[in-house]
């Protein structure tokens, strides 16, 4: 079990962010008798997953939705699957777009380099 400070350090977020996620019902850690948050391994895993999803521009509201499906348990498995598939498409699309841009940049860069070379030798 980890304290909020430990989790923050491990995941490179601030304690503020963790409390914010709790307010937004994205994660609900346990509490000690004194009311301090305690995060388990599985909480950590879930948070790592959330952070990954964020890296793909998934908006918090969607992450929220996914989280709430989890809390509703087994009968939402289909829905969760749908959500994941949907998001995967999204990610694959992003990859596609980024590859295009990479290409574009490559071209622009070599155009610049060619230009600079010509100028050097003239």
Partner DNA sequence: ATACTGATTAGAGTAAACTCTAAGTCAAGG
Partner DNA sequence: CCTTGACTTAGAGTTTACTCTAATCAGTAT
Residue 115, helix vs strand vs coil: helix
CB nearer DNA, residue 36 or residue 102: 36
Q: Write 23-31 long-range contacts (CB < 8 A, 24+).
A: 24/60, 24/64, 25/64, 25/67, 25/68, 26/50, 26/60, 26/63, 26/64, 26/67, 27/67, 29/4, 30/1
Stretch that binds DNA, among 41-49, 54-62, 73-81, 98-106 (CB under 7 A): 54-62
| By the rule CB under 7 A, 34 interacts with DNA | yes
Write out the two tokens for 99: 């590859």
| By the rule CB under 8 A, 85 interacts with its own copies | yes
Among its own copies, DNA, none, what binds residue 98 when CB lies within 5 to 8 Å by partner kind?
its own copies
In the set 28, 30, 59, 85, which binds DNA (CB under 7 A)?
59
Binders of its own copies among 2-41, rule CB under 8 A?
Answer: none
| By the rule CB under 7 A, 12 interacts with DNA | no
Treating both helix axes as pointing N-terminal to C-terminal, what angle do 41-55 and 15-23 enclose, rounded to 10 degrees?
90
Tokens 């909480």 — which residue?
Answer: 43
CB nearer DNA, residue 59 or residue 113: 59
HSE-CB of 73 using CA atoms within 13 angstroms = 0
| By the rule CB under 7 A, 82 interacts with DNA | no
Contact positions vs DNA (CB under 7 A): 3-6, 13-17, 19-20, 34-37, 54, 59-61
């Amino acid at each position: 079990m980890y304290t909020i400070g430990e989790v923050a350090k491990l995941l490179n977020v601030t304690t503020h962010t963790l409390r914010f996620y709790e307010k937004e019902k994205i994660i609900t850690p346990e509490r000690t008798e004194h009311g301090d948050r305690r995060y388990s391994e599985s909480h950590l895993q879930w948070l790592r997953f959330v952070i990954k999803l964020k890296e793909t521009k998934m908006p918090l509201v969607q992450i929220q939705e996914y989280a709430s499906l989890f809390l509703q348990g087994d009968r939402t498995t289909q829905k969760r699957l749908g959500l994941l598939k949907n998001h995967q498409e999204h990610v694959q699309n992003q990859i596609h777009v980024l590859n295009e841009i990479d290409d574009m940049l490559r071209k622009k860069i070599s155009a610049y380099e060619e230009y600079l070379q010509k100028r050097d030798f003239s």
